[in-house]
Amino acid sequence: MSKFELTKTKEWQKLAEFRNENQNLHIKDLFKDENRFKEFSIYDEELGLLFDFSKNIVTKETFKLLIDAAKAADIAGYAKKMFSGEKINRTENRAVLHTALRNQSGSPVYVDGKDVMPEINAVLDKMEKFSADLRSGKLTGATGKKFTDIINIGIGGSDLGPKMVCEALKYYGDASLNVHFVSNIDGADIYENLKKLNPETSFFIVASKTFTTLETISNALTARNWLVSKLGEKAVANHFAALSTNVEKVKEFGIDENNMFAFWDFVGGRYSLWSAIGLSIACFIGFDKFKELLSGAHYIDKHFLSAQYEKNIPIIMAVLGFWYNNFYGAQSYAVLPYSQYLHRFPAYLQQGDMESNGKTINFEGDRVDYQTGAIIWGEPGTNGQHSFYQLVHQGTKLIPSDFIGFVNPPQRVGDHHEKLMANFFAQTQVLAFGLTKEQAIENLLKTGASKEEIAMLAPHKVFEGGRPTNSILINYLTPKTLGALIALYEHKIFAQGALWRVNSFDQWGVELGKVLANTILPELSGKADNPHDASTKNLIKHFLKNKK
């Protein structure tokens, strides 16, 4: 069998040729076509979701070439393998079935010949009862008081996912419940959370599949010691739950087995909020709304599996990112939600995208000779406008961006929302079309500027434009539309992984640092030698010398 080389495929060659022949193509030139918006946008009636990708440096011909590349990568076939439980995570010999967690079709999903849906549904049933009991006050602390605070202790996807969703759906949350998240091994994280809590009304959720994750268990033990110092050893059973598969370790910790929730090795951490990892979400917004979150994701799962490539939103998002990354040299990608509720969404996607596709080795085990995962970053509008938009507008780097907004906010406060969305529309327009020198001069003349001032200022007022954006405009922010939005990005990441032929579901790059940290830890208390390179050795020496 001949070795596959992506950069030598006819699809890659045609895209490269088109790029070379159209170096000066500008977005404003493409809008001479009056039907462009209609042809380069998709509206989903059920979700009330509009995806506008017309402000991209993409002609009809380019779009066809990009879709051809997606078809050549057989994204649809690869997706069917994932949904059917095939072990597409080759390096760990695992199925990838976060989609099964939100499977509401009633159909079985098999892994190694076993239908996993009964177990998944059993955990969901257990989550429903537990969250209802905690919210109602049927489940109480050691002194009989109703819980007022939930503290989720996890890291990575066990923290970023539930934290992002609880923030995004805060409007729907139980006003009598506060949800806190502890992840960092830095003692400041657990310390600052514990100092504002009442032990009698605090409930801790420890999210660790193995129940051995260094950061999570260190923070959990600190929380346990704090609780025991206030309420005694027996209180642990009343005040802790475990999201884990390690029964022995959970029992050893003192957690009631009835408060233990399972999940599976076919669920990666960054895709786990749909599982028991979402227990804090279910407690905060209620299980009915948690089910709505799952239903939105399931709706997009069906769209991803069934929609034609040309109308498949995650695939279109994927090929556009591929286009800028591999043919324009764009190394980063901004996600810009115009909703304060989604202020943690870019951070959530950082892990989802960069941990998934930040790879240099392809399916065949060879080093790639092209760029893979982009650097994902962003902040909510309009905060970002007063921070980094200057670089996006007039800097030397091309930064494709996704703008996410809502037609109707969960609540109205004066005319704040209209002011917010005026900025949303203005930013994408200026990024696409820019401002010419002639227009800048005309604007300066209107201010009464002198000829000398105009000559000096005009070059600084020019916006080149041609900066690509997608606009995702959703009628309402609800649990269902949030679930759909998250799933759109999950499948976009998957589709790009298929294009780049990398395994989006392992994370070996995370592991080595953990292993070495465990080696160094005894050295920091003087219990082991310091055999490192000159820099690391002397950094450790300096630390020990100045440690109080």
Q: Is 5 assigned a catalytic role?
A: no
Q: Is 537 assigned a catalytic role?
A: no
Q: Comparing C-alpha atoms, which of 115, 494, 43, 53 is closest to residue 301? A: 494
Whole-angstrom CA distances from 158 to 12, 152, 240, 439 are 37, 9, 16, 50
Which of these is catalytic: 386, 397, 416, 542? Answer: 386
In whole angstroms, what is the distance from residue 24 CA to residue 21 CA? 9
HEC secondary structure over 428-497 = HHHHHHCECHHHHHHHHHHCCCCHHHHHHHHHHHCECCCCCEEEEEEEECCHHHHHHHHHHHHHHHHHHH
Q: Comparing C-alpha atoms, which of 301, 288, 354 is closest to residue 131? A: 288
Sign of CA dihedral 380, 386, 388, 390: positive
In whole angstroms, what is the distance from residue 378 CA to residue 401 CA? 9
In whole angstroms, what is the distance from residue 429 CA to residue 401 CA? 12
Q: Is 163 assigned a catalytic role?
A: no
Which of these is catalytic: 11, 355, 490, 523? Answer: 355
Helix (H) or strand (E) holding 408: strand 401-408
In whole angstroms, what is the distance from residue 540 CA to residue 548 CA? 14
Are 244 and 209 spatial neighbours (Cβ–Cβ below 8 Å)? yes
Which of these is catalytic: 302, 437, 514, 541? Answer: 514
In whole angstroms, what is the distance from residue 55 CA to residue 37 CA? 9
Residue numbers annotated as active site: 355, 386, 514
